[in-house]
Amino acid sequence: MKEKVILAYSGGLDTTAIIPWLKENYDYDVICCCIDVGQGNELDGLEERAKLCGAEKLHIIHAVDEFCDDYIVPCVMADAVYENKYLLGTSMARPLIAKILVDIARKEGASAICHGATGKGNDQVRFELGIKALAPDLKIIAPWRCLDTWKMQSREDEIEYCHQHGINLPFSADSSYSRDRNLWHISHEGLELEDPANSPNYDHLLVLGVTPEKAPEEGATVSLTFEKGVPVAINGQKKKVSEIITELNALGGANGIGIIDIVENRVVGMKSRGVYETPGGTILLEAHKQLEELILDRDTMAFKKTIDARYADIVYEGKWFTPLREALQAFVESTQQYVTGEVKMKLYKGNIIKQGTTSPYSLYSESLASFTTGELYNHKDAEGFINLFGLSLKVRAMKMAEANKD
């Protein structure tokens, strides 16, 4: 019997060309695996296409809820944003995909896993770190790094290679954006975006929504309910996290929410420019932050911000299955014990505007915060506090004055 290889399969031109390439260069039985993390109609017709291209079989694994509950929610709890802009849409999905590829490899008795990520991107790092952490014995094949046997350097080359192997699918050689889509976001790279001096062609680019200029004049209101940091309801209706994100995507997209244009620092050392659409995720993260600012004490919030930033870096770098990520997650979860309440927001032309936040665990005290003197706060106490808080400043100033006299 031939050895088996599990191919991370999307049905696009790259992974279509990889099927005959694997059979030709490794003499493997190719088993395709497509993991559904919310990429929509991209899954249509995949089984027929995979078998037409020479695959033995195709596994389609529906993992949207697992993606939301086990990967998105932890990142929401951690307010995880890479370089202050990128909401980690692709980064969060890769470890789950790696995990499922390993599961299928074990089920099928495969000896290798193949992915179609290029040698310049982050995804090769994310896929392979996940596979190494979960199945260090499995061989990993990355065609774009196999320079001796992978001779294709363009879409035209790949189309011609497929034709030579009897695969005549309706792929186009026309240039288009390089995109990655899941329930959380869609990313866009390529074309005019390759030059940071160019403005994005949003009329051609956007998929999930519209620009703020084209959003309606009246806007929309929405409320989100959290329990221990987890979103559990939208507009008072209890729903699964995946359903909440789906509804928020529609609302946010229609109102121009969650479009960012970033030049980010890739793991492999280069800068890359991309446009990300994350309408629902942007709303969800903003609501979570608004609730935290009401509930977390000053020291915990300040320290959590440092943890959140490190957590985002770790996820971006593909280090999901590491002791450090798990340890940071444990800290984050401990901070979420009382992050329960409701956040109301207005969505208007790209803006998220507070409409009120409530929580049974709010640390906000109206009697303390108001200008009316309450029982817990004596204005006179501030004088002693300031004297002690500023003592080092006063001592330094006195010493400097003495030194300057000399």
Say what the alpha-carbon torsion angle 121, 125, 130, 135 is, to the nearest 10 degrees.
120
Contact of 68 with 245, CB cutoff 8 Å: yes
Burial 238-275 (b: 16+ CB within 10 A, else e): ebebbebbbbbbebbbbbbbbbbebebeebeeeebbbb
End-to-end CA distance of the chain: 92
Q: Which residues make Cβ contacts (< 8 Å) with residue 3, sequence separation at least 6?
A: 26, 27, 28, 29, 110, 111, 112
How far, in whole angstroms, is CA 223 from its chain's centroid? 22
In whole angstroms, give the CA distance from residue 327 to residue 126.
19
Both tokens of 197, joined, read 């001096």
Pseudo-torsion of CA 147, 151, 154, 158, nearest 10°? -130
* Cβ atoms 20, 53 nearer than 8 A: yes
Distance, CA of 80 to CA of 314 (rounded, Å):
10
Coil vs helix vs strand at 167: coil
Give the number of other CB atoms < 10 A from CB of residue 191. 16
β-strands 351-358, 341-348: how paired?
Answer: antiparallel
**Which residues carry out catalysis?**
14, 94, 123, 178
CA distance 258 to 253: 8
Q: How far apart are CA 50 and CA 372, in angstroms?
A: 71
DSSP 8-state symbol, 200: P
- 313 CB-near residues (< 8 Å, 6+ apart): 82
The stretches of 165-266 forming alpha helices (DSSP H) are 202-205, 241-254
Give the Cα separation of 394 and 406 in Å (integer): 19
